[in-house]
Structures are given as structure tokens and as C-alpha cells.
């Protein structure tokens, strides 16, 4: 984690998982990373805890007995402002989509590397601190990445991701209207170096290799059949 300034309060994380062993391992690991951690074994315990404490982030397992993580996430989106990171053993497209549609800020499939978990937590906390989505914001956040429209720079955490001129132009065209499909012909028109609409698919494949965890099952750079592409931010 980024070093805290004197007097700065550590971010407080709520971990909700019915797996006692994993819950305790996550608590120890995240505490070692400089976070304050509270745990809950199910949705009911989480609700009781949330009644008296405001958290900076909630790490929530989807598959739990009784009320599952998706149901709890929908409730959280109505009642709390804390971002949600979902955990699940199901690495399937439908499961990912359902989690994100429920209002989660990010998704991580089990088993996962602890380092990836902390990177995703850091990214979510940075977005929350930066007030992502406010009017005039020239940065678009997705996963561990932030794209600066003014500078046409893509960063993963603090590291700059190299983009070719064409890749930067394409990502800019998508990032100017996040969540809105952009037609292939419009993407082809953003740069004379692209050539034709068919080459758009080649360039998008290259971009996915730099951004997506699994380029064949993208989370952020999505194909819209019959139209073109869309950038789905957090």
C-alpha cells in the first residue's frame, strides 16, 4: 500500500466470506498491507456490522448460504456508498456479468493471488479518493487501469502502459463515451493510420492483450455485434 501520512487513518475493509480459513487468511494478509479489517461469516452478520460502522470497501464472496453476495450487493448499492469487490469460485462470464450488474465495482475469481487482490483494492480506493465520475473528470477508470484523456496516457497503478499512436487514438475514442458503443466506421475515422474497418479488430485485439486479464473473455473492451466496440468502465 502507499505509505500513510502522519495522522492519516488506515482504510477500513469489511471481508464477508463463509469460509472461515480464507476469511482469517485475508484478514491477516490485508492487515499486514496496512489496512484495518473487520470480518463477517455471512450476509446477516455483515448487515449487523454495517449497521454501526462505515467501511471504505467491502470484499464480498458471492457463494454464501442464505442470502448470497449478489443479493447483499444490491442492498448495499441502495443503502451504502462503500465500493464492493466480489469474490467467487465461478470463473464464468454469466457470473461476472451478474456481479457487475448487481452494482459491484470489481470482480475477482477464486483462486487468486493475494497480490492481485491488494492491487484491485488499491485501485478501487484510489478511484473513490479521486471522486471518479465527477463532472469535468478527464480520467476514466477500469479495473487496475486509469486512462488520462488529456494526456492520452494509460497507467496500471503507477506504471505507464505503452500504447502505439493508433492504440491511444482508439482508446481515446472509446473513453470519451464510456459505456456507449462506438461504430467501427467511426473508430476507423479517428486516424489515417488505421486504414480500414477490418484493421480495427486487429488493433482491438492488441489493446486487449495490454488491458484484459483474459483477452478472449474481455471485461472492459467489449465487442458489440453489428456495431463496433464499447469501453465498460467501473
- Domain-terminating residue out of 107, 130, 153: 130
Within a domain: 145: yes
Within a domain: 6: no
Model-wide pTM > 0.85: no
Do 44 and 103 sit in the same domain of this protein? Answer: yes
The reported pLDDT for the residue numbered 227 is 86
What is the dihedral angle through the alpha carbons of 102, 103, 104, 107, rounded to the nearest 10 degrees? Answer: 50
- Domain-terminating residue out of 83, 110, 130: 130
Digitized pLDDT (tens) for each residue of the chain, 234 residues in all = 444 443 457 899 999 999 999 999 999 999 999 999 999 999 999 999 998 888 999 999 998 999 999 999 988 877 777 889 999 876 666 666 777 777 788 888 888 899 999 998 988 888 777 654 444 457 888 888 999 888 888 998 878 899 888 888 899 989 987 888 888 888 888 776 676 667 888 899 999 999 999 999 999 999 998 889 999 886
65 is written with which cell numbers?
A: 448460504
pLDDT, tens only, 137-188: 578 888 889 998 888 889 988 788 998 888 888 999 899 878 888 888 888 8
Domain that holds residue 149: 139-231
Strand, helix or coil at 176?
Answer: coil
Within a domain: 197: yes
- What gap in Å lies between CA 41 and CA 23, rounded to an integer? 8
Cell 466496440 locates to 229
- What gap in Å lies between CA 77 and CA 68, rounded to an integer? 15
Within a domain: 160: yes
Amino acid at each position: 500500500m502507499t505509505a500513510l501520512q502522519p495522522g492519516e487513518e488506515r482504510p477500513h475493509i469489511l471481508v464477508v466470506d463463509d469460509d472461515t480459513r480464507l476469511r482469517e487468511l485475508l484478514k491477516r494478509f490485508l492487515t499486514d498491507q496496512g489496512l484495518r479489517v473487520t470480518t463477517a461469516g455471512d450476509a446477516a452478520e455483515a448487515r449487523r456490522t454495517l449497521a454501526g460502522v462505515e467501511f471504505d470497501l467491502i470484499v464480498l464472496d458471492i457463494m454464501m448460504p442464505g442470502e448470497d453476495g449478489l443479493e447483499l450487493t444490491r442492498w448495499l448499492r441502495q443503502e451504502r456508498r462503500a465500493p464492493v469487490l466480489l469474490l467467487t469460485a465461478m470463473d464464468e462470464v454469466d457470473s461476472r456479468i451478474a456481479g457487475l450488474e448487481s452494482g459491484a465495482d470489481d470482480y475477482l475469481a477464486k483462486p487468486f493471488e493475494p497480490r492481485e487482490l491488494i492491487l484491485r483494492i488499491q485501485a478501487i480506493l484510489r478511484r473513490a479518493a479521486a471522486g471518479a465520475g465527477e463532472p469535468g473528470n478527464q480520467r476514466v477508470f477500469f479495473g487496475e487501469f486509469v486512462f488520462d484523456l488529456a494526456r492520452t496516457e494509460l497507467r496500471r497503478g503507477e506504471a505507464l502502459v505503452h500504447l502505439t499512436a493508433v492504440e491511444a487514438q482508439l482508446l481515446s475514442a472509446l473513453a470519451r463515451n464510456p459505456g456507449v458503443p462506438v461504430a467501427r466506421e467511426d473508430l476507423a475515422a479517428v486516424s489515417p493510420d488505421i486504414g480500414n474497418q477490418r484493421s480495427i479488430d486487429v488493433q482491438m485485439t492488441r489493446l486487449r492483450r495490454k488491458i484484459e486479464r483474459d483477452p478472449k473473455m474481455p471485461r472492459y473492451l467489449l465487442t458489440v455485434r453489428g456495431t463496433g466496440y464499447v469501453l465498460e468502465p467501473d
